[in-house]
Amino acid sequence: MYILQIGEMATRLSEKLKTEHNEITWRDIIGMRNIFAHDYESVDDKIIWGTLSNDITLLRTGCIEIILELEPDYDPDDYDDELLVDDDED
């Protein structure tokens, strides 16, 4: 599940970066990862759908802004979103 991976990667970001970019709700992202990993029976389908249909897009936009700040030559159009989809998960 990509939500788990996103949450896991968020735990690996420096506290400095998370503090400087507190417009992204890092704590919520990590918290959702923990629920998925340890208490998945309690996950609400509506929350999952809201995350997938709204929050992931906002997170992507926020992450691109951070990357552009750190790496001004980065061009998100150079990356194909289809590369982000793992077709092997069946």
pLDDT at 85: 47
Given a cut of 50, whether residue 90 has pLDDT beyond it is no
Indicate the pLDDT class of residue 48, thresholds 50, 70 and 90: confident
pLDDT at 81: 61
Given a cut of 90, whether residue 12 has pLDDT beyond it is yes
Q: Is 54 within 8 Å of 60 (Cβ atoms)?
A: no
Query: Would you list the DSSP string of the chain?
Result: -HHHHHHHHHHTS-HHHHHHTTTS-HHHHHHHHHHHHH-GGG--HHHHHHIIIIIHHHHHHHHHHHHHHH-TT--GGGS-GGGG--TT--
